[in-house]
Amino acid sequence: MEFGLLGPVVARHNGVAVPAGSGRERFVLATLLLNAGRLTSLDRLVDALWDDPPSTARAQVHNVISSMRRRLRGYDSTAGDDLILTRATGYELRLGDHDLDVLRFRALVAAGRRAGVAGDPARSADLLADALALWRGPALADVADELAEPIRQVLHEERLAAAEARLDAQFALGRFEDVLGEVDPLLAEHPYRERLHELRMSALDAAGRRADALAAYRRLYRRLADDLGVEPGAPLRELERRILRGEGATPAGRPTPRQLPAATSVLTGRDKLIGEICAELTRDDETAGLVRVLVGPGGVGKTTLALAAAHRLAESFPDGQLFADLRGTHDQPADPHTVLGRLLRTLGVDAPSLPDDRDERVSVYRSMLAERRMLVVLDDAGGEEQVRPLLPTTAGSRVLVTSRRQLGALVGAARWSIPVLAEDDAVALLAAVIGAERASAEPDAAAEVVRLCGSLPLAVCVAAARLAVHPEWTLDDFRRRLAQQWGRLDELAVGDLNVRASIELSYQALDPELRRLLRRLGLGHATNWPAWVAQELVGEPAVGRVERMLDRLVEVHLIEPAGRDAVGQSRYQLHDLIRDFATERAAAEEPEEERSTAVSRVLSGWLALAGEADQRAEHHTIYSAGLAEVAARVPAGPAREQPRAWLETERQSLSTAIEQAAAEGHAELAGELALRVSGFLTLRAYDDEREQALRVAAAALRTHGPEPLLLKVLQALFGVHAQLARIVDMASVATEALDLARALGDHTRFVRSLLHAGLAVRRLGRLGEAERMFDEALAAVEPDDPGTVRASLLINRAEVDRDRGAPEPALPLVERALEVRRGADNPRLTAQNLIIYGYTLIDAGRLDDAVAALDEAEEITRGLGDDLHTTYVEQTRADIDVRRGDWAAAQERLDRALPMFESLNNKDGIAEALRSRGELALARGGPAEAVGPLEQALAIWRQLTAPLEEARLLARLALAHAALGEDAAAGARRAECRQIVDGLGLTDACLRLPGL
């Protein structure tokens, strides 16, 4: 089937005309044909056919389609339902093997233009003549003007543009009289078409009729002034000047626009990305769409990337490149209608010929691009509605869009989310501006500068520019300036490059509600956060609404999605520089009281959720015992249902919340939160984090109180110092807590503080003093004590005997403590006591009983997920293997235990495992191999100020040196050991030397 629209609407099958139906049917057929391959909505057809549609309008359109299908099917069985498909909201005409004269016309025009660009004007003229010969009269000649005019105007513009292109080819061939003969009829029809006047003047001048050419210009000048109140455009004025100077007129031809701004920015680390963009822009397979989109936050380099790719592809788009700044992030975004006017003038449409109607202007633009292979770069798009009118509809051209928004409604567009630079690439960018020698002279400072810039290309470029104009600055000087958070954005401004201003554009484009949310997000200190944090910051009870608000901030790249965490929460984060900006705006725009209230709500949320998780995490510690519960206003499901996983996921956020609470005067909240997380941190042996949390809370409570909570925190802090073998800190905190407990008259806390003080002096080797403290505390324990303190006192009192080298009196004390522990149903503390029982039994020579105790301990620790104490079991088993002579088993156990202690940063454990290695080497007759681990263990105990442990290592080193025949070294070690033992008032039994 052959269809024709370039004249009366016709359909033919094998040369036989098919009746085209009524005028309304012809219009519908023409509309479907011109939109072939795409959906034509029913609403569009109704609106085109009626100004005031009747209630039966949709049914009438259905009838028109049905009638058309029957008529076409009567001539060609493939031209019915298979040609016009019904869709949910309209119709789609699929041409397939059928023919349409408009498409043939456009193909010939495009081929003619390519021939002209390739330097073959003769072929160009012939192809364009063939294209124009397809016209049989006015387009849609037998359709009423009120229906056909919009379509007709677009097609006639294409016809006129093709005629101009043919005149260009004729001129290039020197056929000046032919040009004059053909241009006059066109001018009679289009008297204000400046391009035709250019051709006529050029032909007159080239034919030797210079005076006529100048006279033609003067007539045109007067006519434009009289009729339109304008003067000729720049190309005509320039042509007149050339003719006046006698330079000879040359045919301007169809303009080949090269509108791209210069690619002046330095690019590093983007080669792969530019390659991908270029490959996608030049892909011509069936799945290649027309639109490519680069999205990302302000300053990430979207425009730079787009221009780099567009410049690289200049030869791939021979008909030119258009560029438009859509100003989507500014107060007054560019109107697409105005942008179209500028682009059409660039394409050769003179001002009087520009349609005022929005739809007509879009149609003319698309018609002109239909004949070309062009690249259109649309920078800083504010939304899809700004972009759509500027999109071509034919496959020859491509569009590259940049935006801070996702533009998700541009369905089918290839899309890249542009990331910040990798650190090495950011440093390379800095070096490219300031000089490689200067950057390499201070590599650490260079890396820190780009880190403080968040590797954002704009920020790095600004930093580099400032350094470049200040050669007297060192990079470290500038690093220090950037490190001041409140002045960082001030430092990142030079000339018209300004990071704050770039972020400000996105901020001002938000509605007030979203601006407030962004400001409040700057008040939090967490690296990333779940949605409920935003909910509390703005005081919004509906989490779904807040999630939608967060999504809108993600879409404009002011916050970033950080994925889903291990408990299923969606997480978000702020780029550091956007956080700085948000914090600035919050301080400038919100009263301090409102800011403080918002932060307090979030910190209370962390405390409530931590409380929910703490009660269910089964860590079997007493840090948070007695704390009041805080009702959770936010979704608490993950904290309740997966308490350990939630605590693990939020470890960093909880630590940050404690520090923020302490810094902002919420001391009580900081203390309670530190206690709430301490049990889990103990369970997982995150001892450094536990120590930091409790130190921060204690410092805040010393200033702001309350003192009872400070005492509780100090006792928890003592526990972590003991875990980390910070012996001097243990003594200091124990003394402070003991004094505070006395002052408060808190008997229970006094007894516990006495326990801690005794433990501290025991670790310092002052066993007599420790014994007196433990005995005093045992005597002071209340009869109704649940056993926790009593058991701890019994264990530590037993450890005093064991430290003296007397395991026998220690055993019944440990057994009494175990009885209390089991009765209190505290498996974690029971396991710890079993380990102490195990090595007390080893000292007593009861190895089988020790194995049984360790078996029970290991079953508990593995069930609890307590990696630290499971490793202590392993190391203690190795001591048993050494005493039994099973050296291979001992070696395997220590090879597992030592790296685990190191990974947990447990100094006690590391030193004990090294001591066991030394004893293993001595036992198997390898004193040379013993010296290294024993020296390492000695260094640890000296660092920790543990004199009794130091003496034990010196005694073992003396044995190793003696076995090696190194008498002087052995004597020196024995002398050091003797000095310590005598100084502590102890005997050699305290050295606990096994039978090596």
Give dist(CA 92, CA 539) in Å, integer: 50
List all residues 6 or more positions away from 165 whose beta carbon is below 8 Å from its beta carbon: 109, 112, 113, 116, 124, 128, 254
Q: CA 203 → CA 70, 180, 580, distances in Å?
A: 53, 7, 64
Distance, CA of 67 to CA of 18 (rounded, Å):
13
Of 129, 134, 127, 132, the C-alpha closest to 112 is 127
How many angstroms separate the CA atoms of 160 and 278, rounded? 34
Higher pLDDT, 606 or 724: 606
Q: What angle do CA 703, 707, 709 make, to 5 degrees?
A: 105
**pLDDT tens column, 69-119:** 888 888 877 666 678 888 888 999 988 889 999 999 998 988 888 787 667
Q: Residue 785 pLDDT > 80, yes or no?
A: no
Q: In terms of pLDDT, which residue wins out, 348 or 941?
A: 941
pLDDT tens-digit series, residues 723-776: 787 888 998 999 999 999 999 998 888 998 999 999 999 999 999 999 999 999
Please enumerate in sequence order all residues whose Cβ is within 8 A of that of 799, keeping only pairs 6 or more positions apart, or say none: 762, 810, 836
pLDDT digits (tens, 9 = 90+) for 633-654: 888 889 999 999 999 999 999 9
Q: How confident is the model at residue 634, as a pLDDT?
A: 82
> Cα separation of 545 and 568, whole Å?
19
Please calculate the CA angle 735-741-742 and round it to the nearest 5 degrees: 90
Q: What is the pLDDT of residues 411-449, one digit of tens each?
A: 888 999 999 999 999 999 999 999 999 999 999 999 999
- 523: buried, middle or exposed (CB in 10 Å: 19+, 13-18, 0-12)? buried
SS (H, E, C) 948-991: HHHHHHHHHHHHHHHHCCCHHHHHHHHHHHHHHHHHCCCCHHHH
Is the pLDDT at 665 greater than 70, yes or no?
Answer: yes
Q: Mean pLDDT across the stretch 285-302?
A: 84
Token readout for 128 is 């364009």
Long-range contacts of 547-554 (CB under 8 A, 24+ apart): 549/513, 549/514, 549/517, 550/517, 552/514, 553/510, 553/514, 553/517, 553/518, 554/406
Q: Is the pLDDT of residue 350 over 80?
A: no
Any alpha helices (H) in 76-144, and if so which ranges?
Answer: 101-117, 121-133
Band of the pLDDT at 263, cuts 50, 70, 90?
confident
- How far the first Cα of the chain sits from its last, in Å, is 105
Whether 887 shows a pLDDT value over 60: the answer reads: yes
DSSP string of 343-386? HHHHTT--GGGS-SSHHHHHHHHHHHHHT---EEEEEEE--HHH
Query: Please, which residues have CB within 8 angstroms of residue 585's CB and are 6 or more apart in sequence?
Result: 507, 515, 518, 519, 522
Q: Which two tokens stand for residue 465?
A: 């520019």
Q: Whole-model pTM above 0.75? A: no
Position of tokens 């950011």?
Answer: 426
The residue-averaged pLDDT of 817-839 equals 91
Q: 685, 906 in Cβ contact below 8 A?
A: yes
> What is the full DSSP assignment across 431-455?
HHHH-HHHHHHSHHHHHHHHHHTTT
Instruction: Tell me the DSSP string of 444-500.
Output: HHHHHHHHHTTT-HHHHHHHHHHHHH-TTS-HHHHHHHHH-GGGHHHHSEETTEEHH
Average pLDDT over residues 354-383: 87
The residues near 349 (Cβ < 8 Å, ≥ 6 apart) are: 157, 364, 368
Proportion of the chain above pLDDT 90, given as a percent: 62
Alpha carbons within 13 angstroms on the beta-carbon side of residue 564 total 5
Closest CA to 696 of 672, 679, 680, 719: 672
45 in Cβ contact with 93 (< 8 Å): no
Question: For residue 540, how far is the Cα from the chain centroid?
Answer: 25
pLDDT number for residue 74: 80
Structure token digits, residue 478: 């500038």
Residue 331 has pLDDT above 90, yes or no: no
Q: Please state the φ and ψ torsions of residue 322, each to the nearest 5 degrees.
A: -105, 145
CA distance 137 to 763: 107
User: Are 607 and 673 spatial neighbours (Cβ–Cβ below 8 Å)?
Assistant: yes
Q: Is the pLDDT of residue 678 over 90?
A: yes
Taking only the tens place, the pLDDT of each residue in 6-61 is 999 999 988 888 887 888 899 999 999 988 888 888 988 998 899 889 999 999 99
What letter does residue 803 receive in the DSSP assignment? H
- More confident of the two residues 852 and 541: 852
Q: How many CA atoms lie within 13 A of 685 on its CB side?
A: 21
Cis before 706? omega within 30: yes
Find the mean pLDDT for residues 449-474. Answer: 91
Instruction: Express as a percent the part of the chain with pLDDT over 70.
Output: 97
More confident residue, 242 or 187: 187
Distance CA 897, CA 903 (A): 10
The average confidence (pLDDT) of the chain is 90
More confident call, 236 vs 185: 185
pLDDT for the residue 252 = 46
- Provide the 8-state DSSP code for 258: B
Distance of alpha carbon 459 from its chain centroid, rounded?
17
Please, are residues 57 and 50 in contact by the beta-carbon 8 Å criterion? yes
For residue 126 the two structure tokens come to 């012939």
| Predicted pLDDT of residue 253 | 46
* Residue 359: pLDDT band with limits 50, 70, 90: confident
Can you name the residues that pair with 498 across neighbouring β-strands?
Answer: 493
- CA dist 306 to 459, 526, 569, 871, Å? 19, 34, 35, 57
The answer to whether 314 touches 323, Cβ cutoff 8 Å, is no
- Mean pLDDT within 294-320: 91
C-alpha–C-alpha distance, residues 800 and 771, integer Å: 7
pLDDT digit string (tens) for 900-934?
999 988 899 999 999 999 999 999 999 999 999 99
- Written as six digits, the tokens of 617 are 């995490």
